[in-house]
């Protein structure tokens, strides 16, 4: 069975005001101290946390797992540890994809971040966004690129399901995922064309780096790409999700997409020839609507309801879900997601219900570490 790993970026905020705070250095130092204190006979234990572009955020990655129940427990555990370490710096963690409150982010220190700031100006300086990345194992780059070519039409639905960033700089953006709009300011971000082979994929990546506009392969910000570090396909389209069960749902669906695409490739079925311009429209529509408005159907690229688009995704991967033992979990999670809504609906509901944006953030921080 293919292994799955999840990376999440969390916002570090003041426990009382909900305003982002630039304390990632202190939080990482606390994680490092904890790792030393809990070292066993085999030596110091590594922690799961890393710094990100801005000092107001914290990233973690789960280990590769095959069982979705174990993945859920791992995400809950690491989110709890993140909250514990943040508390030592007077902060809390919130799984929101943008800050509802106004903020002037602080670029992290280091040569790479300094280069990004100089090269991209306001795009880098304002880029305080938190995403969720899902890695699924593949046997080779050739299989991985075959998967990338075949999952393209389905990624916008995942974005809609994960949407969790309705506010930007103190205002309602009108979008369910405004993070997706801000993220697409990067010149290498978004949907991509069909590659056809691993050689063509790597040629395209190298040509982009050779322009000088990108520093290295780590700046290939496609919605889905081959990982430069692991033997995986990395799907990067989603917002960080408020409820810890939602990234598990995404992981199960993405593993289903990878398996379904690989089987199609092995059976000689070509990828759908949907133009990248249409995929960009589907992505925009998903970011605008989330689950509370129309989406573009992944197969026809015509407007349909969010429920029908999600159902199409489920039916597309259903055989793989059943083979993985994930079908019942996914069906229940989809029903629950439609009923309660995604993070964008929760945030807006809290605000419409009378909570200040600061209170929305602190409430979301409580939901972030809820089991």
Mean pLDDT on 260-274? 98
Domain ranges of the chain: 104-368
Range with the lowest mean pLDDT among 37-41, 335-339, 342-346?
37-41
pLDDT value at 251 more than 70: yes
pLDDT value at 190 more than 70: yes
pLDDT tens for 45-58 read: 677 899 999 999 99
- Asked if residue 168 lies in contact with residue 178, where contact means CB atoms within 8 angstroms, the answer is yes
Q: What is the mean pLDDT of the chain?
A: 96
Mean pLDDT on 162-186? 98
pTM metric for this prediction:
0.96
Half-sphere exposure of 369 (CA within 13 A, CB side): 20
Mean pLDDT on 63-77? 98
pLDDT computed for residue 35 by the predictor:
85
Q: How far is CA 79 from CA 34, 45, 347, in A?
A: 15, 17, 19
pLDDT tens for 282-341 read: 999 999 999 999 999 999 999 999 999 999 999 999 999 999 999 999 999 999 999 999
pLDDT computed for residue 44 by the predictor:
47
Cβ atoms within 10 Å of 213's Cβ, excluding its own? 12
Model confidence at 40, pLDDT cuts 50, 70, 90, reads: low
pLDDT value at 42 more than 80: no
Mean pLDDT on 269-287? 98
Per cent of the chain over pLDDT 70 is 98
CA distance 120 to 333: 39
pLDDT value at 41 more than 60: no
pLDDT tens for 197-212 read: 999 999 999 999 999 9
CATH class assigned to 104-368 = alpha beta
pLDDT value at 267 more than 80: yes
pLDDT tens for 111-163 read: 999 999 999 999 999 999 999 999 999 999 999 999 999 999 999 999 999 99
> Per residue in 174-207, is it b (16+ CB within 10 Å) or e — as a string?
ebbbbbbbbbbebebbbbbebbeebeebeeebee
As a dihedral over the C-alpha atoms of residue 248, residue 250, residue 254, residue 256, rounded to 10 degrees, the angle is: 70
């Amino acid at each position: 069975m293919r292994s799955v790993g999840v990376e999440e970026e969390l916002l570090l905020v003041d426990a009382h005001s909900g305003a982002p705070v630039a304390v990632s250095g202190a939080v990482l130092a606390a994680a490092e101290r904890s790792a030393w204190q809990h070292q066993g006979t085999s030596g110091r234990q590594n922690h799961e946390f890393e710094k990100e572009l801005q000092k107001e955020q914290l990233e973690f990655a789960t280990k590769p797992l095959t069982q979705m129940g174990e993945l859920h427990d791992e995400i809950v555990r690491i989110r709890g540890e993140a909250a514990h370490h943040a508390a030592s710096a007077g902060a809390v963690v919130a799984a929101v994809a943008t800050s509802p409150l106004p903020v002037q982010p602080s670029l992290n220190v280091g040569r790479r971040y300094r280069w990004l700031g100089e090269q991209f100006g306001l795009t880098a300086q304002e880029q305080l966004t938190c995403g969720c990345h899902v890695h699924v194992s593949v046997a080779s780059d050739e299989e991985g690129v075959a998967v990338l070519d075949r999952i393209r039409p389905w990624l916008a639905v995942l974005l809609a399901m994960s949407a969790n960033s309705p506010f930007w700089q103190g205002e309602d953006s009108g979008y369910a995922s405004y993070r997706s709009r801000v993220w697409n300011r990067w010149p290498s971000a978004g949907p991509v064309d069909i590659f056809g082979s691993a050689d063509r994929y790597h040629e395209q990546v190298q040509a982009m780096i050779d322009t000088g506009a990108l520093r290295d392969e780590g700046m290939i910000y496609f919605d889905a790409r081959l990982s430069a570090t692991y033997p995986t396909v990395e799907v990067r389209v989603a917002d960080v999700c408020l409820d810890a069960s939602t990234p598990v749902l995404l992981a199960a669906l993405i593993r289903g997409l990878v398996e379904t695409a690989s089987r199609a490739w092995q059976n000689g079925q070509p990828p759908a020839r949907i133009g990248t311009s249409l995929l960009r429209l589907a992505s925009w529509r998903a970011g605008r609507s989330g689950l509370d408005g129309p989406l573009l159907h992944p197969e026809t690229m015509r407007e349909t309801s969010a429920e029908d688009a999600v159902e199409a995704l489920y039916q597309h991967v259903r055989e793989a879900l059943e083979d993985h033992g994930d079908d019942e979990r996914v069906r229940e999670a989809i029903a629950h997601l439609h009923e309660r809504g995604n993070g964008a609906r929760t945030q807006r509901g809290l605000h419409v219900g009378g909570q200040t944006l600061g209170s929305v953030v602190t409430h979301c921080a409580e939901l972030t570490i809820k089991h």
